[in-house]
Amino acid sequence: MIRHRPGILDIDRYVPGRSGPVAGPVAMLASNESPFPPLDRVTAAIRASIAKANRYPDFESRNLTEALAQRWRLSTDQVVLDSGSSSLIRNIATACTGPGTDVIYPWPSFSSYEHAALLTGATPIRVALTPDYRPDLDRILVAINDRTRVVFLCLPNNPTGTTVDHTALEAFVEAAPEDLLIVLDECYREFVTDPNSASGIRLLSRFDNVVVLKSLSKSAGLAGLRIGYALSSPEVCRLLEAVRIPFAVSSPAQAAALACLEHDITSELESRITATVSERSRLFRALSTAGIEAIPSQANFLFLPRQHDAATKVMHLANHGVLVRQVGSQEIRISVGSRSENDHLLAHVDALLTSSRP
């Protein structure tokens, strides 16, 4: 047997909602992807970059870093790029945690927080959501102790689609220790319509221990290219750069992201986000009218609690060409797809009404 770190094979691996090719017409509503393909000019930028695939990508992603810094009115040493936010989450854990330390996060939430903690030997600490499925900032604050190194907050939260008020988040950060890293995972922030919702960007000028994670997978439709970035203080960004894998962001990913930041393309992407938000509302109303409980969402998905025998329901929908995700023994998450995909789901909505209760 190969000698390896004890316990490494006991760590649960990340399980995707659905990946790889699928046969036949299918409503892809399991992975919170954009239903829209890249815009033509983005595709053209990707193709042009492939012509130089024999060369390594720009190690520092300089053009993209400068564009993102300008976009968020920050300095370039406050931006760190990587191959998706999941890589940044792991790098944060690598840089700041290890045996004898704690990582705190709401639960249920994005499973990569727990996975990253376990990989470094840190202790993952789950804090239950509030009764209305929001991150419980008060209970998280109580859970913080001398061992705590990182707090992850997914806002809006995956899989519930809920968030917290900005005033509550600001009060939480003010009350937390200054040497504690607070990671605000905003991969779904572009879909938020509540003006009172938390915004990590608004906190960066005040708190050096806040990190905001952004993704181009959801809002820009670049999930297949794997690119995300962190915004924080120069001190924190230096830590992330110290553990970053060399050449992590490919040339096509850099080219696509840079194209997405052009003004006219950004406007088109915002129109797509508006369309997704509109479909979110339509899907929520349709499910509610059918008698199916769904939690009001600020993301590009809906959370269905109290779905008894969820595994059977997910399988039934899959057999009818609708891919959704089971996120607990009695919970289902449904991504907001295109109008036709959502209609396909609604045509089989009765599957979500059946119950295995006696």
- Each residue's pLDDT tens digit, 259-274: 999 999 999 999 999 9
Among 244, 243, 234, 175, which Cα is nearest to 208's?
234
DSSP 37: P
| Percentage of residues in the chain having pLDDT higher than 70 | 96
Q: How would you label 187-205 residue by residue, b for 16+ Cβ within 10 Å and e otherwise?
A: bbbbbbeeeebbbbbebbe
Tell me which of 333 and 20 has the higher pLDDT.
Answer: 333
13 falls in which pLDDT band (50, 70, 90)? confident
pLDDT value of residue 227: 96
Question: Looking at residue 25, what is its pLDDT?
Answer: 67
The answer to whether the pTM exceeds 0.85 is yes
Q: Name the band, by pLDDT with cuts 50, 70 and 90, for residue 358.
A: very low
CA distance 291 to 165: 29
* Structure confidence by residue, pLDDT tens digits, 183-236: 999 999 999 999 999 999 999 999 999 999 999 999 999 999 999 999 999 999
Q: Which domains does the chain have, with CATH numbers?
A: 8-37+264-352 (3.90.1150.10), 40-262 (3.40.640.10)
Tokens linked to 228: 């995300």
Maximum Cα–Cα distance for the chain, whole Å?
63
At 357 the pLDDT is 41
